[in-house]
Amino acid sequence: MIEVSNIIKRYGNFTAVNNLSFTVKPGEVLGLVGPNGAGKTTTLRCLAGIIPTSSGLVTITGIDLSKDPVAAKKQLAFFPDEPRLFDYLTVRQHMTFTARIYGVSDAQPKIDSLLQELEIFEKANRLPSELSRGMKQKLVIACGLLHSPKVMFFDEPLTGLDPLGIRKMKDSIVSRAKAGASIVLSSHLLHLLEEVCTNVLILKKGEKIADGTLQEVSARYSAGEDNVSLEDIFIRATGGTES
């Protein structure tokens, strides 16, 4: 469960995220969309505790992120758009390191199981430089899932993936949500929202301009028309301009 209440993120006089509130229940997938510079990545970083909010409240499974960040972070996983890996650690060494950082009990069987599930078991002794982008992405996901997070944040999860990788990533997100995780993802790819997300939140200039289920948001911007695509809805909602 993610509860966000009136969060604001300012940089000097510039407000990147303004008074944003929403809730993501277990099993829900919230798609965060908006034009370039709308504040999607800033919002995700605030929710993952990477950057502090200027004001407002974020709770992760009921734990206040600002008051007890360590406990809150144990419940979440953040997946950046670019796989960020240590150059000199092999796939297995990455998993071992992550297990120690998160204090994962009985880690080795879990590591093997995850590597097999994500089809990188055979690459366990390879360095990141020897992996394709898709493989790196899988390793990041394996590291993120090792501590069985209840909350997940994906920043542009499909960037740089091939069609098979995209399919597997989508399946992975849906299966984790079905298993009870609360998921927030940001993406420019509107078809991803249609296939994966249960809810959508449209941001523009750091402010929420629409949120709800896909049907609710569609109904709001379709103006009674039938067969209005999500692309049209997005353009109508954002006014067809960047921030």
Measured from the CB atom, is 89 or 219 closer to other proteins? 89
**Toward other proteins, which CB reaches closer, 13 or 129?**
129
Identity of the amino acid at 232? D
Shortest Cβ distance from residue 126 to other proteins (Å)?
Answer: 8
Could you tell me the smallest distance in angstroms from the CB atom of residue 116 to other proteins?
Answer: 18
Biggest alpha carbon distance in the chain?
57
Residue (66 or 222) nearer to other proteins, CB: 66
Q: How far is the CB of 154 from other proteins (least distance, A)?
A: 13
**Which three-class secondary structure state does DSSP give residue 28?**
coil
Instruction: Take residue 222 and report the two structure tokens written for it.
Output: 């379709």
Binding residues for other proteins (CB under 8 A):
11, 16, 42, 45, 48-52, 69-74, 76-78, 80, 84, 86-90, 93, 96-97, 99-108, 125-127, 129-130
Partner residues linked to 182 by β-bridges: 151
HSE-up of residue 11 (Cα within 13 Å, Cβ side): 7
Backbone angles phi, psi at 3, to 5 degrees: -125, 120
Min CB(230)–other proteins separation in Å: 29
Q: Which amino acid is residue 103, in one-letter code?
A: G
Nearest to 140 by CA among 191, 153, 109: 153
**Rounded to whole angstroms, how far apart are CA atoms 214 and 219?**
8
What is the smallest separation between the CB atom of 9 and other proteins, expressed in angstroms?
8
Cβ proximity to other proteins: between 97 and 132 the closer is: 97
Phi-psi region of 234 (alpha: psi -120 to 50; beta: other; left: phi over 0): alpha
CB closer to other proteins out of 25 and 84: 84
Residue (67 or 178) nearer to other proteins, CB: 67
Is 193 in contact with 33 (CB distance < 8 Å)? yes
Residue 163 beta carbon to other proteins: minimum distance, rounded to whole angstroms: 27
User: Which CB sits closer to other proteins, 9 or 168?
Assistant: 9
Q: Which segments of 25-80 are extended strands (E)?
A: 29-33, 55-60, 63-64, 76-79
We find the least distance from the C-beta atom of residue 49 to other proteins, in angstroms, to be: 7
Instruction: Give the residue from 57, 46, 40 showing the smallest Cα distance to 4.
Output: 57
